[in-house]
Amino acid sequence: MSSENIVSVVQQFLQSYRSKTPTKLKLVDAYLAYIMLTGIIQFVYCALVGTFPFNSFLSGFISCVGSFVLGVCLRIQTNPQNRSQFLHISPERAFADFLFAHVVLHLVVINFIG
């Protein structure tokens, strides 16, 4: 019974996701999934061959993590359902912040990559 419940919950979730989520947000979600996958693969590699050179691993991993976080921020800020909390920040403004933060993040990442 429980397995049936889980399956039906998941199915419902996916259904409502497909229908109710705006396209823009779906695009961002896809981007987030991509980032996460990249991070996981990097981590697996490090676990396999060891941490040398450690700085390169950290830089790559932090790039993934940072990008993911910034992506999540963008999603939150551009979600129309959250509009009431972000009255002063338009989606364009959120996107501009997203871009600027990425530029800074990538400067740090490139510096650290060695």
Partner 1 sequence: MQHICSSFLLTSAALLLCLSTVDAEALSDVFSPHDITRIRDLLLSTEPYGELSTPYHVLRGLQALGTSSSENKDGFKRNACAYALSHIDTSSDLQSLFYISSIAAELGSSCLPDVIKKKSHIQSVVSDALETEQTMEKLYYSTSISTNLGLDVNSESVLASILTALDDDETIQNTALAFLTASQLPDFDLTAIYELVEDVVAQADETPTTLYYDSLETTSNVITGIFAMATKTGEAPAITSEQATKFGNYLLTNTYTVDVARLAYVLAAATALDRNQYVVPCSLLLTSSGYVSRANPDIQVRLATILGSPPPTEFTVTVMTVTHQEGDETLPKKKLKSKNGLYSYNLFQDVSSPGVYTLTFSTESVGGSPVVKLTETPLQVTVSFEVTIGSAELSLSDREHGTTAKKISLEYPNSSKETLEADQHSKVVMKFTLIDKETKKSALVHQAFVRLTRGQHEIFFVATANKKTLQYTFELDMVTAAEDFGSLSGSYAMSLIVGDFALENPFSWDIGSVSLLFAGSTTDTGDEDYTYRAKPEIQHMFRLEEKLPPKVISSTFTVLVLSPLALLLVLWVGIGFNVSGLGTGGLWAVMFHISLGGIFVVYYLFWLKLNMFDTMKLLALLSVPTFLAGNRMLKRIASSNQ
Where along the sequence are the contacts to partner 1 (CB under 8 A)? Answer: 23, 26-27, 30-31, 33-34, 37-38, 41-42, 45, 48-50, 52, 90, 92-93, 95-96, 99, 103, 106-107, 110-111, 113
Compute the distance between CA of residue 64 and CA of residue 34 in angstroms, rounded to an integer: 10
The minimum distance between CB 111 and partner 1, in angstroms, equals: 7
DSSP 89: -
Q: Which amino acid, 108?
A: V
Exposed/middle/buried for residue 1 (C-beta within 10 Å: 0-12, 13-18, 19+): exposed
The minimum distance between CB 24 and partner 1, in angstroms, equals: 9
Q: Which is nearer to partner 1, 31 or 76 (CB)?
A: 31
**Residues in contact with 98: Cβ distance below 8 Å, sequence separation at least 6, in sequence order:** 70, 71, 73, 74
Q: Which is nearer to partner 1, 83 or 93 (CB)?
A: 93
> How many residues in the chain?
114
Q: Which is nearer to partner 1, 31 or 86 (CB)?
A: 31
Compute the distance between CA of residue 78 and CA of residue 101 in angstroms, rounded to an integer: 16
The minimum distance between CB 4 and partner 1, in angstroms, equals: 29
Q: Which is nearer to partner 1, 3 or 52 (CB)?
A: 52
